[in-house]
């Protein structure tokens, strides 16, 4: 069992990646990949429970992989693969499912995290409860069968851990739950990004102030702006004189972040074979690591190994 820092996160290919994904999970992974052992996988097995068409799942998975590479994920630094291409996910899921009393989805998530002996799970705030379940599953297993799994911590970014829907700023921006104009897709054309930010729900006050409970719309724009340019939402608010300025500054900051991602995507998307090959290599490397964890779990449970 390793004790070094290993950061792992998963993204479900169930829709288009959005600004919340970038700020809450992708950027923190990309930023730390040169200093930490990192793993990122596309959790396609999690996407099977939502109604989907086979072809669109395949296309979404490949597109997400391409966007992640365009966003700076370096496959030489981050172990990067598609979950279903590493059967150990399914095997550990099965073993945990047979030996614990938790519902299927938390067990699948736990299997994905525990397979890699991850110590940290960088994620948005919505994952805190889910990772708490993984901790519980690992802890109970260890108590029952002896020390087998590393118990991971969730790590959320100080700003941008919960980006809300622009049209409905009390709910989080999501891949499938958001209204059409509430989520900024990472591949949205610049004019659409500006349009969505200009239409974002604010309030009838005249000054800019950060107060997520009472002023969710304005606070959400400040949170986005701060996450893009650095600093805290309260400090970025001080330089702004009105809602027009806030919208302009936010749009400029978001476009500044998305422009290089979209440019790199344009190049990478021309060569899907390259992306598929990278993923296949990643899966092979992952299998070499994860086999050991499954073996450990089997030994602990007592099946003949
Ligand atoms: P999902 O979109 O559910 O596959 O989530 C992928 C990653 O993005 C997880 O780490 C989430 O916590 C993170 N994430 C999803 N939506 C948001 C959001 N609105 N704000 C911040 N992080 C988010």
Encode pLDDT of 242-261 as tens digits.
999 999 999 999 999 999 99
pLDDT band at 176 (very low <50, low <70, confident <90, very high): confident
pLDDT of 178 over the 70 cut? no
**Could you tell me what percent of the chain has a pLDDT over 90?**
91
- Give, for 112, the enclosing helix (H) or strand (E): helix 104-114
pLDDT of 175 over the 90 cut? no
Report CA 220 to chain centroid distance, whole Å: 19
The Å distance, Cα 187 to ligand 1 centre, comes to 16
Scan for tokens 């730390």, then name that residue: 32
pLDDT digits (tens, 9 = 90+) for 197-239: 999 999 999 899 999 999 999 999 999 999 999 999 999 999 8
So what's the pLDDT on residue 114? 98
pLDDT band at 293 (very low <50, low <70, confident <90, very high): very high
So what's the pLDDT on residue 1? 52
pLDDT of 77 over the 70 cut? yes
So what's the pLDDT on residue 20? 97
So what's the pLDDT on residue 225? 98
Mean pLDDT across the stretch 76-85?
98
Ligand 1, atom 17, lies closest to the CA of 20
Atom of ligand 1 nearest to the CA of 172: 19
DSSP string, 158-212: SSSSSPBPSSSTTSB--SSSS-TTTS-BTT--HHHHHHHHHH----S-SS----T
Using most ligand atoms within 8 A of CB, pick from 7, 18, 21 the residue to mutate for ligand 1.
Answer: 21
User: CA of 127: how far to CAs of 6, 131, 154, 255, in Å?
Assistant: 17, 6, 8, 27
**Ligand 1 residue neighbourhood (C-beta within 6 Å):** 9, 11-12, 20-21, 23-25, 123-124, 126-127, 161-163, 172-175
Using most ligand atoms within 8 A of CB, pick from 14, 24, 177 the residue to mutate for ligand 1.
Answer: 24
pLDDT of 271 over the 50 cut? yes
pLDDT band at 288 (very low <50, low <70, confident <90, very high): very high
Atom of ligand 1 nearest to the CA of 164: 19
State the CB neighbour count (10 A cutoff) for residue 203: 15
Mean pLDDT of the chain: 95
So what's the pLDDT on residue 2? 46
Q: What is the pTM of this model?
A: 0.96
The Å distance, Cα 123 to ligand 1 centre, comes to 7
Crossing angle for the helix pair 216-229 and 243-268, to the nearest 10 degrees:
50
The Å distance, Cα 11 to ligand 1 centre, comes to 8
Ligand 1, atom 5, lies closest to the CA of 11
Atom of ligand 1 nearest to the CA of 160: 21
The three-class DSSP label of residue 271 is: coil
Mean pLDDT across the stretch 130-144?
98
The Å distance, Cα 46 to ligand 1 centre, comes to 14
């Amino acid at each position: 069992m390793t004790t070094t820092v290993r950061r792992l996160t998963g993204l479900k290919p169930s829709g288009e990646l959005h600004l919340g994904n970038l700020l809450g999970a992708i950027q923190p992974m990309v930023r730390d990949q040169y200093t930490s052992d990192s793993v990122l996988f596309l959790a396609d097995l999690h996407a099977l429970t939502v109604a989907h068409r086979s072809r669109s799942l395949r296309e979404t998975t490949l597109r997400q992989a391409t966007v992640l590479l365009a966003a700076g994920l370096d496959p030489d630094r981050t172990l990067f693969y598609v979950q279903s291409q590493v059967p150990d996910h399914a095997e550990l899921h099965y073993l945990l499912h047979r030996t614990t009393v938790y519902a299927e989805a938390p067990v699948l998530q736990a299997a994905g995290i525990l397979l890699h002996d991850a110590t940290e799970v960088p994620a948005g705030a919505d994952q805190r409860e889910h990772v708490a379940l993984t901790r519980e599953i690992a802890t109970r297993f260890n108590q029952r069968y002896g020390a087998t799994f590393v118990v991971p911590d969730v790590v959320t970014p100080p700003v941008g851990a919960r980006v809300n829907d622009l049209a409905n700023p009390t709910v989080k921006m999501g891949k499938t739950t958001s209204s059409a104009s509430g989520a900024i897709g990472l591949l949205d054309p610049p004019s659409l990004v500006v349009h969505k930010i200009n239409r974002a729900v604010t309030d009838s006050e005249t000054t800019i102030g950060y107060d997520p409970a009472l002023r969710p719309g304005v606070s959400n724009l400040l949170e986005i702006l701060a996450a893009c340019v650095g600093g805290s939402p309260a400090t970025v608010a001080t330089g702004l004189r009105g809602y027009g300025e806030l919208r302009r500054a936010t749009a400029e900051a978001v476009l500044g972040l998305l422009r290089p991602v979209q440019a790199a995507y344009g190049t990478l998307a021309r060569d899907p074979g390259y992306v598929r090959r990278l993923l296949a290599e990643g899966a092979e490397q992952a299998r070499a690591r994860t086999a050991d964890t499954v073996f450990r779990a089997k030994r602990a449970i007592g099946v003949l190994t």
